[in-house]
Amino acid sequence: MEIFSYKHEDPAWARVASYPRILRYFLAEKQLTIPIRHVDLLAHENLRPEMLAFNPARTVPCAKLDDGRVVTGTLPLIEYIEECHADPPLIGTTPEQRAVVRSWMRLADEKVVSRGIRIYKLLASSYEGIESQDPAVARWQFEEVRAALAWFDTLLADRMFLVDDRFSAADVVLIGGVDQVQTLVFTLLARGHENTDAFRLDVANTWRHLAAWAARVYARPAYRPEL
Ligand SMILES: N[C@@H](CCC(=O)N[C@@H](CS)C(=O)NCC(=O)O)C(=O)O
């Protein structure tokens, strides 16, 4: 398998592309080294005809399987890698564990990660002419993210990690989202916006339980801010 993905050289900006970073963190937790071919999103390499023919969904990360077919979408890719490399198990060892972890992976993605990326696409100059852009819609999505983080904060009041007090791929997905949504303000600053306060989030000083959970993830040997 060959993975196609993207990483900005500046770690602060690397956090903005949360899906590629989630996959890098997942691989680090699995202690796996799989070749990653760089796709330069800023140069729109993903939109080139040969890339679109291979990956019509156009997003990264994606992977070319040994049989030549493409797997696209971070969650399906993580699930595939877990199936190929069972140890250490990050999704689960029983059908029930896997079902529960997958449902929390999906919730973290839907409520935080995908919204964070949507906000970025609504605002970033690199998506001009590619995605519809609207700061008002971004602002509304941002409030949805804020509500989702408050929801996760309440849930995490009495658990160590998202599922069964055991670190799992669901935590990998959520931390990628939590890191990303706190960097959205860079996007606005880069575009010369002066009033960036509307997009500022400070998890550590806002949501006690979410912050304590994040600190537990940050303390894991495989986690590195510069991932
Ligand atoms: N649903 C996809 C979304 C991935 C995504 O939006 N990736 C961004 C980078 S973080 C991307 O490839 N953007 C390029 C584009 O949309 O043209 C997933 O789960 O992987």
Does the pLDDT at position 191 exceed 80? Answer: no
Pocket of ligand 1, candidates 16, 105, 117, 125: which has the most ligand atoms within 8 Å of its Cβ, to mutate? 117
Provide mean pLDDT across the span 91-117.
97
pLDDT of res. 13: 86
Tell me, using a 6 A CB cutoff, whether residue 17 lines ligand 1.
yes
Q: Can you tell me which atom of ligand 1 is nearest the CA of 121?
A: 16
Rounded distance from Cα 219 to ligand 1 centre (Å): 27
Residue nearest to atom 9 of ligand 1 (CA): 17
Residue nearest to atom 18 of ligand 1 (CA): 73
- CATH 1.20.1050.10 residue ranges for the chain: 95-218
Does the pLDDT at position 33 exceed 90? Answer: yes
pLDDT of res. 175: 98
Rounded distance from Cα 58 to ligand 1 centre (Å): 7
Rounded distance from Cα 118 to ligand 1 centre (Å): 9
Provide mean pLDDT across the span 174-181.
97
Annotation: CATH topology of 95-218:
Glutathione S-transferase Yfyf (Class Pi); Chain A, domain 2 (1.20.1050)
Instruction: Give the CATH number of domain 2-84; options: 1.10.10.10, 3.40.1380.10, 3.40.30.10, 3.30.70.20.
Output: 3.40.30.10
Provide mean pLDDT across the span 176-193.
84
Q: Under a CB-based contact definition with an 8 Å cutoff, are residues 111 and 85 in contact?
A: no
Does the pLDDT at position 115 exceed 80? Answer: yes
Does the pLDDT at position 83 exceed 90? Answer: yes
pLDDT of res. 193: 72
Per cent of the chain over pLDDT 90 is 81
Does the pLDDT at position 195 exceed 90? Answer: no
Does residue 206 or residue 124 have the better pLDDT? 206
pLDDT of res. 190: 72
Provide mean pLDDT across the span 140-155.
96
Q: Of 28-32, 68-72, 149-153, 184-188, which range is least confident?
A: 184-188
Provide mean pLDDT across the span 114-124.
93
- CATH 3.40.30.10 residue ranges for the chain: 2-84
Does the pLDDT at position 89 exceed 80? Answer: yes
pLDDT of res. 189: 73
Confidence band, pLDDT 50/70/90 cuts, at residue 56:
very high
Tell me, using a 6 A CB cutoff, whether residue 60 lines ligand 1.
yes
Does the pLDDT at position 109 exceed 80? Answer: yes
Q: Under a CB-based contact definition with an 8 Å cutoff, are residues 7 and 23 in contact?
A: no
